[in-house]
Amino acid sequence: MSKGNIGSIIERVDLVSNNFSWNYNCIKLSGGYYMSAFKDNDSDGRIVTFAVNEVTGDIGSTIDTWEYNPNETNNSTKIIKVSGTTYAIVYSSSQTADLIYVKTFKVSNAGVITKSFIDSLTLPVTNNVPQMSSDIIYISGNVYAIVYSEMNASLGVVVTVNITSAGAISNAVIDSLDFCPVSRSDVSITRVGDTDFYAIAYIDNRRCILKGLSIEVELRLKAIDDGIIFTQSLQGHTKFC
């Protein structure tokens, strides 16, 4: 097949029966093994691991599953590899209380989940409202940046936290910045090249907006640029690849 050409779907597999949701994230564990986190159709937070043949594209059966946020309304989910078999997850709950967390846990390279958290930090929120979307990105050393949207308060927030390779999380955020007064839904962050600049995409009143900020070596968040509106009348989700 020529580069850029899209072929037909190779295989489709229902990893778990209780998996209807639009809020999801999928990452690679190791060669042939993958992990997905999502909100199931009971609105609980769930993680599932599975195999994919990296030669044929065939999807194997589910290896392991963990309902990590049961009996709650799980509004956002994003996972990232920290080191080795240690992973971090950012997610929010809005049933018992409107809170957003970053937590760490372990998954073996073969997809076996250790069904308990290593450490946890509750992220700061301005108002008692649901956090509808989140994203996390590695900065340098043990530092990660997390972005999230406070739905009813409409704030877009970016914070930095410290997570060690063993999964220990700092007792408080390093720094925090409200990057916009209105961020109503999906939000995503990516690094600009190899610089200390980062771009955030978010939805503001059905418009998709791209803004830039910098995170200095001493881990202080700098003010955001004015931003660019690149899609009008947007309905749906926006993410960086």
Q: Tens-of-pLDDT digits for all 241 residues of the chain?
A: 667 677 777 766 666 655 555 567 889 999 999 999 887 777 778 899 999 988 888 888 889 999 988 877 777 788 999 999 999 999 887 666 678 899 999 999 999 999 999 999 998 876 655 556 789 999 999 999 998 877 655 677 889 999 999 999 999 999 888 877 655 567 888 888 888 888 888 776 554 444 445 554 344 444 445 444 333 333 344 444 3
pTM tops 0.85: no
Looking at residue 33, its pLDDT comes to 94
Predicted pLDDT of residue 86: 98
Asked if residue 128 belongs to a domain, the reply is yes
User: Does residue 5 fall inside a structural domain?
Assistant: no
Q: Could you tell me the strand order of the sheet in which 155-162 lies?
A: 131-140, 143-150, 155-162, 175-180
Give CA–CA dist 214/192, Å, rounded.
10
For residue 157, being part of any structural domain is answered with yes
* pLDDT for residue 61: 83
Domain extent at residue 155: 72-231
Give residue for tokens 């409200």.
Answer: 178
Closest CA relative to residue 213, chosen from 202, 204, 221? 221
The answer to whether residue 97 is domain-embedded is yes
Domain membership flag for residue 214:
yes
Report the CATH number at residue 139: 2.130.10.10
Q: What is the pLDDT of residue 228?
A: 42
- Total domains, the chain: 1
**SS3 helix, strand, coil % of the chain, rounded to 5?**
0, 55, 45
Chain length of the chain: 241
Nearest-angstrom CA–CA distance, 229 and 81: 31
Residue 119, in any domain of the structure: yes
Name, in order, each residue with C-beta under 8 angstroms of 115's C-beta and a sequence gap of 6 or more.
66, 68
Transcribe 186-240 into DSSP letters.
-EEEEE-TTSSEEEEEEEETTEEEEEEEEB-TT--BPPPP--EEEESS--S----
